[in-house]
């Protein structure tokens, strides 16, 4: 059995819903050689994904481009189909969030986790920025509550990500990182007692 390509699936979906405007937009976008630049598109390299994959299977990749070209999962969410509007409850989610939305995405996930702690889990790829608000007010309290676990600390100068290189479908190395990166897991567990108050949710 051969899996239909993302491009073909999106085009078929637009046609089946009689969304000719969307169909034309998709077709024009894919026919252009030059791809639009997405400053939030940082995809982990294969060596790091090989460490993350055993924590799956993942139901969805939470933060991808509009066509899922940088998705590590069969299903994905994007800016147009935002993870902030989705229910994460009951899912195991892979999330490499845009740095511009770290606070919003982690807050949304933690609220979803609180609603169904025994069936909701995730793995996050996060910058290790210990003086930033998202780290101090969300990540640290979640670690102290036993909700988050740091799986791996990746030091400065490690080649971690790829980004679009300007030609549709092709990617380039981002080079050595200027800050550390951490893999953070939130397994299927429920924090005890007053842990949620510590996190502030």
Q: What's CA 59's distance to the chain center, in Å?
A: 12
Asked whether residue 143 falls in the same domain as residue 59, the answer is yes
Q: Are 35 and 67 in contact (CB under 8 A)?
A: no
Percent helix, strand and coil across the chain, each rounded to 5? 35, 20, 45
**Cα–Cα dist 144/140, whole Å:** 6
Asked whether residue 41 falls in the same domain as residue 14, the answer is no
Domain span holding position 91: 34-199
Q: Which long-range contacts (CB under 8 A, 24 or more apart) does 148-152 make?
A: 148/184, 148/185, 148/186, 149/184, 149/185, 149/186, 149/187, 150/182, 150/183, 150/184, 151/51, 151/55, 151/123, 151/182, 151/183, 151/184, 151/185, 152/51, 152/182, 152/183
Asked whether residue 66 falls in the same domain as residue 1, the answer is no
**Cα–Cα dist 178/182, whole Å:** 13
The arithmetic mean of pLDDT across residues 61-84, rounded, is 85
Asked whether residue 193 falls in the same domain as residue 110, the answer is yes
The arithmetic mean of pLDDT across residues 60-67, rounded, is 85
Predicted TM-score (pTM) of this structure:
0.75
Asked whether residue 132 falls in the same domain as residue 174, the answer is yes
pLDDT tens for 112-168 read 999 998 999 999 999 999 999 999 999 999 998 889 999 999 998 888 776 666 656
- More confident position, 190 or 43: 43
Asked whether residue 7 falls in the same domain as residue 98, the answer is no
- More confident position, 91 or 46: 91
Asked whether residue 14 falls in the same domain as residue 73, the answer is no
For the chain, how many structural domains are there in total?
2
Q: What is the pLDDT of residue 89?
A: 95
Asked whether residue 94 falls in the same domain as residue 7, the answer is no
Asked whether residue 17 falls in the same domain as residue 61, the answer is no
Asked whether residue 26 falls in the same domain as residue 82, the answer is no
State yes or no: pLDDT of 35 exceeds 60: no
Asked whether residue 62 falls in the same domain as residue 96, the answer is yes
Asked whether residue 27 falls in the same domain as residue 59, the answer is no
């Amino acid at each position: 059995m051969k899996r239909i390509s993302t491009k073909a699936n999106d085009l078929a979906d637009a046609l089946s819903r009689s969304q000719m405007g969307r169909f034309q937009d998709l077709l024009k976008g894919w026919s252009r050689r030059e791809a639009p630049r997405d400053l939030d598109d940082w995809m982990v390299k294969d060596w790091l994904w090989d460490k993350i994959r055993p924590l799956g299977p993942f139901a969805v990749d939470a933060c991808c481009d509009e066509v899922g070209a940088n998705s590590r999962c069969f299903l994905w969410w994007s800016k147009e189909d935002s993870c902030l509007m989705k229910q994460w409850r009951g899912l195991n989610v892979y999330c490499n969030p845009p740095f511009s939305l770290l606070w919003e995405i982690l807050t949304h996930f933690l609220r979803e986790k609180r609603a169904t702690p025994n069936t909701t889990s995730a793995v996050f790829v996060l910058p290790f920025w210990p003086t930033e608000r998202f780290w101090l007010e969300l990540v640290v309290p979640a670690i102290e509550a036993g909700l988050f676990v740091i799986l791996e600390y990746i030091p400065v100068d490690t080649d971690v990500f790829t980004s679009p290189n300007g030609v549709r479908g092709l990617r380039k190395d981002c080079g050595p990182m200027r800050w550390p990166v951490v893999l953070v897991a939130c397994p299927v567990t429920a924090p005890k007692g007053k842990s949620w108050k510590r996190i502030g949710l």
